Amino acid sequence: MIDLKLLRENPDVGRESQRTRGEDPQLIDQLLEADERRRDAIVAADAARSEQKAFSKEMGQKMRSASDEEKAALREEGKAKAEGVKKLEETLNAAEQEVHDLQMRISNIVEEGAPAGGEDDFVVLEHVGEPPTFDFEPKDHLELGESLGLIDMKRGTKVSGARFYFLTGDGALLQLGMLQLAAQKATQHGFSLMIPPVLVRPEIMAGTGFLGAHADEIYHLEEDDMYLVGTSEVALAGYHSDEIIDLSEGPVRYAGWSSCFRREAGSYGKDTRGIIRVHQFDKVEMFVYCKPEDAQEQHQQLLAMEKEMLAAVGVPYRVIDVAGGDLGSSAARKFDTEAWVPTQDTYRELTSTSNCTTFQGRRLKTRYRDENGKAQTVATLNGTLATTRWLVAILENNQQADGSVIVPEALRPFVGKDVLRPKN
């Protein structure tokens, strides 16, 4: 939710942010106009209540010596003033609702320095590692996964439909090892590990900013009015909703290990082969609560941890600064890491880390006390540390001519093998 005080003082910042996102800057003016009406309504309602209170006190004194006719007139006047207060309070409630609705429609203020534009307007910040060269025709991750007995898409589709799969044998061990390694790294860096719920209430899903333009990506259980999470960020953001948390010793940091669910509603015909774009996957997600002035530093720390994890599994990747129009409503700045996928001859997203500033904290009413003891809104950040899609890059970049795949050294203790070999 947008900070009204910030917009009152710097409306041009809000308008420019909307333009950077490719969204309507007039929403900022509509919100400020609604805020002005709300403040006028507050003044009018307060004045009417004060007048009614003074009249009630005066009426009590007059009633002692008034005639029956005068008493009736006083009662009618008191009734009229009460009715006036009621109408002004209704006007105020409507004005407050209008402000709230407009605030909920406006995305977070884009951080200064983020590129403008859409999905293709990102800026590449760095390349890490060299894409492999093969003296044979490389296989894609699904062909490798099937020949090595790691992935079963056919039975996944039979059981659950398109974009579902089984991870089998060493494939399951490879994913569990990758996620376990991520969990270990998170705890070594001071994150508290959590296994959160994957079903959340509507107010929690809305509070994180996921029920806006991309609501059709979320699974909704209508009978229970609950949502399946697409990331454990949602549950972790809701963990401290309506609370004042202690940040006196620094940021509060969690790592959530959970299954995640996405409808992929807008992806018809895209990535239909393999496990790049699926309905269910597992992920370790980092989440940070901190003071707003610490958010940019925390963002860089999350990115550094993602790079550390990618170095451990040894895949070549690049880091991009995501453009404003591709940020998502809650993020003010987002960095993605994209791994090289040899059979696609391109980079594909593996991790994402977002600075959501106070956007989610304000919606979920999560606060902390500053040095003066005054309650302030927290900033929140999130970042992926490992997810099922990583298997795509690990398999394709580590394949050999005989169809085998070298297991990254960091994952060998979990898999129990140095090399995965074809079953037949």
Contact 133, 40 (CB under 8 A): no
Assess whether pLDDT exceeds 80 at residue 212: no
Distances (CA, A) of 217 to 165, 264, 265, 279, 417: 19, 6, 6, 10, 37
Contact 48, 39 (CB under 8 A): no
Burial of 306 (0-12, 13-18, 19+ CB in 10 A): buried
Percent of the chain predicted with pLDDT > 70:
99
pLDDT of residue 214: 73
User: Which range is least confidently modeled, 69-78, 171-180, 301-310, 343-352?
Assistant: 69-78
Structure tokens that stand for 62 in this block = 């007059």
pLDDT of residue 337: 98
Is 352 assigned a catalytic role? yes
89, 217, 243, 349: the catalytic one is 349
Q: What is the pTM of this model?
A: 0.91
Q: Which of 424, 399, 409, 415 is nearest to 141 (CA)?
A: 399
Contact 182, 284 (CB under 8 A): yes
33 assigned ligand-binding residue: no
What distance lies between CA 292 and its chain's CA centroid?
17
Contact 228, 218 (CB under 8 A): yes
pLDDT level of residue 70 (50, 70, 90 thresholds):
confident
Query: What is the mean predicted confidence (pLDDT) over 57-65?
Result: 80
297 assigned ligand-binding residue: no
Is 130 assigned a catalytic role? no
pLDDT of residue 68: 82
231 assigned ligand-binding residue: yes
420 assigned ligand-binding residue: no
21, 38, 262, 362: the catalytic one is 262
Is 67 assigned a catalytic role? no
pLDDT of residue 185: 97
pLDDT of residue 418: 97
175 SS3 class:
helix
352 assigned ligand-binding residue: yes
Query: What is the mean predicted confidence (pLDDT) over 55-59?
Result: 83
What is the sign, positive or negative, of the torsion defined by CA atoms of 185, 189, 194, 199?
Answer: negative
Give the whole-angstrom CA distance, residue 2 versus residue 301.
Answer: 25
Contact 322, 303 (CB under 8 A): no
Residues facing residue 121 across a β-bridge: none
Task: Render pLDDT for 23-35 as a digit per residue (tens, 0 to 9).
Answer: 999 999 999 999 9
Helices of type H across 64-163: 68-105, 141-147, 153-160
409 assigned ligand-binding residue: no
Assess whether pLDDT exceeds 90 at residue 272: no
pLDDT of residue 60: 78
Q: Which of 111, 13, 12, 126 is nearest to 324 (CA)?
A: 111
pLDDT of residue 48: 92
Sheet containing strand 199-200, edge to edge, reads 199-200, 226-228, 220-221
Assess whether pLDDT exceeds 90 at residue 424: no
pLDDT of residue 247: 98
Query: What is the mean predicted confidence (pLDDT) over 136-150?
Result: 97
Structure tokens that stand for 89 in this block = 């309070």
pLDDT of residue 75: 84
Query: What is the mean predicted confidence (pLDDT) over 283-311?
Result: 98
Give the whole-angstrom CA distance, residue 179 versus residue 258.
Answer: 10
Contact 21, 107 (CB under 8 A): yes
201 assigned ligand-binding residue: no
* Average per-residue pLDDT for the chain: 94
Query: What is the mean predicted confidence (pLDDT) over 392-405?
Result: 97
Is 96 assigned a catalytic role? no
Please provide the size of the chain in residues.
424
Assess whether pLDDT exceeds 90 at residue 3: no
8, 49, 277, 318: the catalytic one is 277
163, 253, 362, 389: the catalytic one is 389
229 assigned ligand-binding residue: no
Give the whole-angstrom CA distance, residue 179 versus residue 176.
Answer: 5
352, 363, 367, 396: the catalytic one is 352
Assess whether pLDDT exceeds 70 at residue 213: no
pLDDT of residue 330: 94
Query: What is the mean predicted confidence (pLDDT) over 237-263?
Result: 97
23 assigned ligand-binding residue: no
pLDDT of residue 170: 97
Q: Specify the residue for token string 């709230």.
A: 100
Give the whole-angstrom CA distance, residue 209 versus residue 231.
Answer: 12
Is 318 assigned a catalytic role? no
Q: Who wins on pLDDT, 269 or 373?
A: 373
168 assigned ligand-binding residue: no
pLDDT level of residue 216 (50, 70, 90 thresholds):
confident
